[in-house]
Amino acid sequence: MATALSNAQKRYLRGLAHDLKPVLLVGAKGVTPAVLAELDLALDQHELLKVRVSANDRDEREGWIAELVEGSQASLAGRIGHVAILYRRRKDKPLVILPRD
C-alpha cells in the first residue's frame, strides 16, 4: 500500500530528487513485469528515484506512470514532463526521513 504524502512531503522529496538522474527507463514496450521487478529492486535500494517514461502520447504516459505506482506500491512525489519521481519507504533502515506535515 502506497504512503499518502502531504504537499509538504512531496515538495521535500522533489527537492531531494532534483540532482538525481533517472534510474529506470520505460521504453516502447511499456510497463512489463521485468520493468516492475527492476523498479522494485531500485526502490529497495534507493527509496527515492526518477523514472523516465518514453511515451509519445500524454495519456499513454500518464497510464504507464499510474501502472508503475500501482505495481510498485510506491508514492508519486512529482512528475515533470517524461520524468516521474517515485518514493517508497524501506522497511528497515530508511534513508529518507520525511518531515511531518
The per-residue pLDDT for 24 is: 92
The per-residue pLDDT for 87 is: 94
Radius of gyration over alpha carbons of the chain, in Å? 13
101 residues of the chain, pLDDT tens digit each: 566 889 999 999 999 999 999 999 998 888 999 999 999 999 999 999 999 999 888 999 999 999 999 999 999 999 998 999 999 998 888 788 888 86
User: Could you tell me the residue ranges of all domains in the chain?
Assistant: 7-87
The x, y and z cell numbers of residue 27, run together, are: 521504453
The per-residue pLDDT for 90 is: 85
Q: How many CB atoms lie within 10 A of CB 99?
A: 10
CATH superfamily of the domain spanning 7-87? YhbY-like (3.30.110.60)
